[in-house]
Structure 1
Amino acid sequence: MTTAATPAPAGRPVVGLDLGGTKIAAALLAADGTVLARHSRPTPAREGAAAVLDALAAAAAAVDPDRAAALLGIAAAGVIDPRSGMVTSSTDSLSGWAGTRLGAGLAGRTGYAVACDNDVRATAGPELAGLNASTGGHGSLLFAAIGTGVGGALAADGRMLHGSAGIAGHLGHVPSPEAAGLPCTCGSTGHLEVIASGPGIAAHYERLTGAPVDRLETVAARAAQGDSHAVAAITTGAAAAGHVLGGLANALGPDRVVVGGGVPRIGTLYEDALRAAFAAELMGPLRGLVPRPPLLGHDAAVLGAAALTTTLPLHHPGALR
């Protein structure tokens, strides 16, 4: 059973879960957002959807052993439809994840009413809330998360966009000229993710040099030492992201553009190339708009997950019976 979201019972905390391909983070949050308890555990990513749901339930139990909460919000990897509570699409980072009844399955395992959404949209939620507070509830936001993959979130006139099957905001699967002909994790070719993500930049360095490289940080270290191929790989990925975000900014007209994730943290070489490419795309009324880092730190995902319980449909225990 699914119902409209309702405020958490007066004074009761909420469980927030953040599901990634390698780690599950859990927190018990008071009504004012104070973190009362934390827990993390590895994601059983190769063991199937049931094992992942079991691990999520165990993480929730670890932060709320006394059953103080009644509601749970989860920010999950994959394409999530918050209305149906389904994982409508997923890459192979979580085996068998597509088609999972996330809302109902987690509600049945935990006994909480559950709200669910894509992890990047959930993380962007507190950013939108802050923006709405300064715009009278009419904020528009373009949020990108660039790390192992490229995800995103879009909000217009104060409302987060979900789109058909929950797919809105998947910025990594926008065509990118820099990625022309390269196979994407979604099964298509030429998408932004394969040139702008951390693995995408590392793979581009390998194509330029013919030599394998273990991870993005190695490429960044070589760029700092003057390796021209490393510089080219990083600036190509950054520029690809900047061009796409600039074009999307022209289409959406955002008040704020946020770029987060692990890749932008590699340094100013990346940041400067992204900002230059972004600025080159902007139409006149948007000139002066600059991509910014996220306002919140490592708690953004669990805080955003908990906040889902106030804005999205709730999936209740018993729906799978």
Structure 2
Amino acid sequence: MSTAPGPVVGLDLGGTKIDAALVGADGSVLDRHTVPTPAADGAVAVLDALAGAARAVDRGAHAVGVAAAGVVDPRTGTVTASTDTIRGWAGTALGAGLAERTGLPVACDNDVRATAGPELAALDAESTLLFVAVGTGVGGAVAADGRMLRGAGGVAGHLGHLPSPEAAGLPCTCGARGHLEAVASGPGITALYERLADVRVDRLQTVAERAAAGDDHAVRAITLGATAMGRALGGLANALGPDRVVVAGGVPRIGPLYRDALDRAFAAELMAPLRHLRPALPRHGADAAVLGAAALATTAPLHHPRTHSAALHQKQTH
């Protein structure tokens, strides 16, 4: 691993948009840029879009950090597995491909692990962190005794693929059945409501609005998804003994019905030494992902461009 003095470009790659930021050595955001993700156009188009977003904010950056959707192995810089949200994304040489396009060293990791990095950095040196992001999918990150776990192939922390009794028989985006994501994610809760009420709805927020208006099916769908998430987190807490548990993402923001059900289910699972724990909101706001991405330049392996590309980048930026 190498350090990258001076500013770093942080990129947050999602299924719909790419957020880019130039992040100073002090952690301040010096510039921002957002572009749509050409997810339907394949991996080459996405790499080109990432490089374009990086160039839009690059004013003397020393490296690029990428927080990317999918299962990412930071050591090889490769996307080892992915859903079809980005077409042909699995198998992409993310680190090498982006380094060639930008002429800069590139560090990369899964988006949720990268986002959890600043949370871990704010804790004591030997702390254990359990971090989950609940949105279109259910992603997560686990740090033990101050060290972020990446695991074989970069798969560590993918909490959405834990077996869940509440999801029994339901298809998961990974191709299996009965996984947590199928019932606890935004689409999972929405689909559950549709089955219970025998209606079609456009989005999770509609389900939340109907629950607030007293729709019993909506209340049941939200509380079941939240309960499944809370039980899974409580079981993981018993296995890991975390100092801090963080629940991030869009789904927890739909209202107190979800958060209260999650908190109750989490607390009911805890062993006695952990009963003081409660899931917390993330410390960092909308910039958490790009800040975490930029931090990868000092915490993850760097993938370097070939000499020709590096020379071209120097020519373009000076």
What RMSD, in angstroms, separates the aligned Cα atoms of the two structures?
A: 1.2
Greater shift, 310-319 or 260-269, is seen at 310-319
Determine the structure 2 residue equivalent to 1:26.
20
Quote the Cα distance in structure 1 between the aligned partners of 2:182 and 2:202.
Answer: 16
Pick one of 166, 178, 194 that aligns with 2:166. Answer: 178
Aligned to 1:236: 224
What TM-score comes out, normalization by structure 2 length? 0.96
Residue 36 of structure 2: aligned partner: 42
Return the alpha-carbon distance in structure 1 between the equivalents of residues 297 and 13 of structure 2.
16
Shift in CA distance, 319/274, structure 1 to aligned 2, threshold 3 Å? farther
Which runs of 5 or more structure 2 residues have no equivalent in the other structure? Answer: 310-318
CA distance in 1, matches of 2:203, 2:65: 32
In the alignment, the residues of structure 1 paired with residue 299 and residue 202 of structure 2 have an alpha-carbon distance, to the nearest angstrom, of: 41
Q: CA deviation at 1:319?
A: 9.3
**1:319 to 1:81, Cα distance in 2 relative to 1, 3 A:** farther
Q: Displacement, 1:6?
A: 1.6
Q: CA deviation at 1:320?
A: 12
1:36-79 CA-partner distances (Å, limit 9, x unpaired): 10000000000000000000000000001x4x012110000000
* Distance in 1 of aligned mates of 2:126 and 2:271: 21
- Give the match for residue 294 of structure 1: 282
Question: Equivalent residue for 1:222?
Answer: 210
Task: Measure the CA separation in 2 of the matches of 1:188 and 1:164.
Answer: 20
2:131 aligned partner: 143
Query: For the Cα contact (< 8 Å) 1:39–1:59, is it kept in 2?
Result: yes
> Are 1:278 and 2:266 counterparts?
yes
Shift in Å, 1:288: 1.3
Sequence identity, in percent? 72
CA distance in 1, matches of 2:195, 2:220: 11
SS in 1 for 2:51: helix
The aligned counterpart of 1:107 is 99
Hey, what does 2:295 align to over in structure 1? Answer: 307
2:3 alignment counterpart: 7
Count of residues paired in the alignment: 309
Specify which of 224, 243, 249 is matched with residue 237 of structure 2. Answer: 249
Distance across 2 between alignment mates of 1:283 and 1:164: 29
Equivalent-residue separation in structure 2 for 1:36 and 1:48 (angstroms) = 30
Q: Cα offset for 1:276?
A: 0.3
Alignment CA distance shift 1:319-1:156 (3 Å): farther
Work out the CA distance in 1 between the residues paired with 2:165 and 2:56: 46
Q: CA 1:301/1:320 → structure 2, altered by over 3 Å: closer, same or farther?
A: farther
Deviation at 1:318, TM superposition (A): 2.1
Helix, strand or coil: the match of 1:143?
strand
Q: CA deviation at 1:273?
A: 0.2
* Aligned match of 1:82: 74
Conserved? CA contact 1:104–1:319, under 8 Å: no
2-structure distance, mates of 1:182, 1:13? 45
Match of 1:55 in 2: 49
Structure 1, unmatched stretches of 5+, are none
Cα separation, 2, equivalents of 1:319 and 1:20: 30
The 1:230/1:215 distance shift into structure 2, 3 A limit, reads same
- Equivalent residues in 2 for 1:152-167 (5 A)? 152-167=140-155
The corresponding residue for 1:201 is: 189
Would the aligned equivalents of 1:107 and 1:113 in 2 still touch at CA under 8 Å?
yes
Q: Distance in 2 between matches of 1:314 and 1:140?
A: 25
Cα gap change, 1:319/1:256 in structure 2, threshold over 3 Å: closer, same or farther? farther
> What is the identity, as a one-letter code, of the residue corresponding to 1:7?
T
**Partners of 1:177 and 1:52 in 2: CA distance:** 36
In structure 2, distance between residues paired with 1:192 and 1:138: 29
CA distance in 1 between counterparts of 2:155 and 2:88 reads 18
Q: What is aligned with 2:121? A: 129
Amino acid at match of 2:66: I
